[in-house]
Amino acid sequence: MTSLLTASTVTGDRSKPLLELTVDAVLRRAVAADPAALALASPQQGVRLSYAETDLKVEHLARGFVAAGLQPGDRIGIWAPNCAEWYLTMFAAARAGLILVNVNPAYRTAELEFALRHVGARALVYSANLKNSNYVQMLRSLIPELDAAVAGKLTCACFPELRLLIQIGGTPTPGTIAFPEVIADGARRDGAPLAKIAAALDPHQPYNIQFTSGTTGLPKGATLTHFNIVNNAYFVGEGMRLTAADRICIPVPMYHCFGMVMGVLGAVTHGAASIYPSDAFDPLAVLQTVAAERCTALYGVPTMFIAELGHPRFAEFDLSSLRTGIMAGAPCPIAVMRRVLDEMHMPEVTICYGMTETSPVSFQSSATDPLERRVSTVGRIHPHVEVKIVDAAGEVTPCGTPGELLTRGYSVMQGYWNDPQRSDEAIDSGGWMHTGDIAVIDEQGYCNIVGRVKDMIIRGGENISPREVEEFLYRHPAVLDVAVVGVPDLKYGEAVCACIRLRENMSATEDEIRAFCQGQIAHYKVPRYVRFVDGFPMTVTGKIQKFLIREQQRKELGLVEESHA
């Protein structure tokens, strides 16, 4: 019998050893295990690749990178939506010893300029366009020298180190190389130089830079090693009981850890297939793909599952092939989780919690956990990871007492690229990563994320967790989605504001919502303001941007901050 915890500190199981493998070695292992198995399907592109076919394309692409002058340690950016080329670039960069830099497809010129300059990118693989984003036009605005440049030998004032632009799709742009041409060139090259590079790869060297940003300040480039993400991907897959028979539907973006690490790398560490339903999230495409491809696992943030469940054609699709999946990236509403279990046929769905800086997962629920635990917590500590909950003074809190979550172990990033000050602020001298999340760990080691340190609402001295109020409001039959934020209040400092999306063909009034709360939650938690909205400002990964909601509501309500001058 497991002893009950008395303090908020937990350590993961260490019975399974960590993998001393590079990302390239993981792919090679899957190829050796079953070369004919499906590795990738991208139906919207008409692409289906076995592991053997993937390996050959990766080999040729990596040879093409080397032939183009890229050397181990060079940074290669990828600025594209989910596509087969993203998948191939990810593994070819690893084989060639390059550092892959994930660029958010939503980035515009100023953000792209910062990212590429910050890491000193030597090459950029980019999509010609995505929806309303003309990537070529944006590049031309930053690189006026582009049209006159020699492909592969770019010199430009904006990006002194950038030499190579590789275009995915569209009409070839002067000064760039088409993605298929790099593969074709690599196929003609001798493999000896690449083999020498691949043989010297070290799992502990940097492999991936992923940009993260809070509510203020410039983005930070979390620097992750092969060892970081290979092991996290493997243990996430173990938590889902993945096998080579699984087919994972991945609608979450590849530029983020969810799609790249938990999705693709989680699949490859278990010889499973990765399925892209569309280039960017489309709930109908997800439903169609799960049914057509007989997917066994589905990933998404809560807002994605809400959109799928709420789609008017939801009932048309046979989702019975689903077994498992992951809901993560944001707090998972209990009501939504229950519908996923029941209506999407995902009895073994797991919840994961983590952050980019920790590769990303630190906690995960298990398929064997009681239903109550799986719908109300983010599970228990991941293998080989340590976590503690501390108060404002940095002392470990008693079990069941909230505080900031700190994590330590193999998964913690090397630091923020070229930013030692913010690295030191995030990772203390003891190796603990300060997450900024407020969490509670119960006596059995289950963790519940109750909010962000910066999102906590302080009303008249009372600390209010927005998550707690949101969970209660999800019980209302007319509420589809809700975001609770604090807005300025001259008397109490802050007041509770609930922004609500109503279900289709259902209605509610502000007074009805408040009456629903009366007597059920503490009076100071009852929203003073109830606002009905059509949607929320969100990141590409589906996280609700509460700081934007807070500012929008402050303006619309005509509220002013109390002066402390």
pLDDT digits (tens, 9 = 90+) for 371-415: 778 878 899 999 999 999 999 899 999 999 999 999 999 999 999
Q: What secondary structure letter does DSSP report for 128?
A: S
Q: How far is CA 121 from CA 27, 413, 420, in A?
A: 25, 20, 19
**468-478 pLDDT tens trace:** 899 889 999 99
Does pLDDT of 2 surpass 60?
no
Q: Is pLDDT of 542 > 50? A: yes
Query: Is pLDDT of 5 > 90?
Result: yes
Q: pTM of the predicted model, to two decimals?
A: 0.85
Number of independent structural domains in the chain:
2
Evaluate whether residue 416 is within a structural domain: no
Residue 540: the pLDDT is 60
Q: Which helix (H) or strand (E) holds 486?
A: strand 479-489
Residue 376's pLDDT is what? 80
Q: How confident is the model at residue 216 (pLDDT cuts 50, 70, 90)?
A: very low
Average pLDDT of the chain is 93
CA 507 to centroid of chain Cα atoms: 33
Q: Point out the domain boundary residue: 186, 212, 238.
A: 212
pLDDT of residue 1 exceeding 50: no
- 414 in a domain, yes or no? no
pLDDT at 541: 61
pLDDT class of 503 with cuts at 50, 70, 90: very high
Query: pLDDT tens digits for 27-40?
Result: 999 999 999 999 99
Residue with tokens 């080397």: 66
Residues forming beta bridges with residue 124, ordered by sequence position: 77, 165
Q: Is residue 183 part of a domain?
A: yes
Whether 126 is in a domain gets the answer yes
- pLDDT tier, 454 (very low <50, low <70, confident <90, very high otherwise): confident
Q: What is the pLDDT of residue 490?
A: 84
- CATH code of the domain containing 507: 3.30.300.30
Is 462 within a domain? yes
Q: Is residue 167 part of a domain?
A: yes
What is the token pair recorded at 354? 């983590």
Q: What are the residues whose beta carbons fall under 8 Å from the beta carbon of 382, sequence distance 6 or more?
A: 12, 232, 235, 239, 361, 362, 363, 364, 411
Assess whether pLDDT exceeds 70 at residue 256.
Answer: yes
pLDDT tier for residue 561 given thresholds of 50, 70 and 90: low
Distance between CA atoms of 422 and 249, rounded to whole angstroms? Answer: 35
Mean pLDDT of 58-75: 98
Residue 300's H or E segment, with its range, is strand 297-300
Look at the block and give the residue holding tokens 């173990």. Answer: 238
Residue type, 269: T
What is the distance between the alpha carbons of residues 127 and 82, in angstroms, rounded to a whole number?
10
Residue 429 backbone zone (phi > 0: left; psi -120 to 50: alpha; other: beta): alpha
Q: With bands split at pLDDT 50, 70 and 90, how would you rate the model's confidence at 206?
A: very high
Query: Any idea which of 41-50, 61-70, 436-445 has the lowest mean pLDDT?
Result: 436-445
Length of the chain: 565
- Give the 3-state DSSP-derived string for 424-475, with helices as H, strands as E and coil as C: HHHECCCCCEEEEEEEEECCCCCEEEEEECCCCEEECCEEECHHHHHHHHCC
For residue 95, being part of any structural domain is answered with yes
Whose CA is closest to 47, among 265, 277, 261, 286? 277
CATH of the domain at 127: 3.40.50.980
CA distances from 409 to 121, 308, 359, 406, 470 (A): 29, 36, 11, 11, 32
- Percent helix, strand and coil across the chain, each to the nearest 5: 35, 25, 40
Tell me the residue range of the domain where 539 lies: 457-556
pLDDT of residue 316: 98
At 334 the pLDDT is: 75
- pLDDT tens for residues 147-168? 999 999 999 999 999 999 999 9
The tally of CA atoms less than 13 A away on the side-chain side of residue 496 is 29
pLDDT tens figures, 289-329: 999 999 999 999 888 998 999 999 999 999 999 999 999 87
**Domain closes at, from 212, 235, 264:** 212
Asked if residue 16 is part of any domain, the answer here is no
227/196 Cα distance (integer angstroms): 20
Average pLDDT for 506-520? 94
Asked whether the bond before 360 is cis by omega within 30 degrees of 0, the reply is: yes
Last residue of a domain, one of 212, 244, 276: 212
pLDDT at 90 over 80: yes
Report the number of secondary-structure helices (H) and strands (E) in the chain: 18, 29
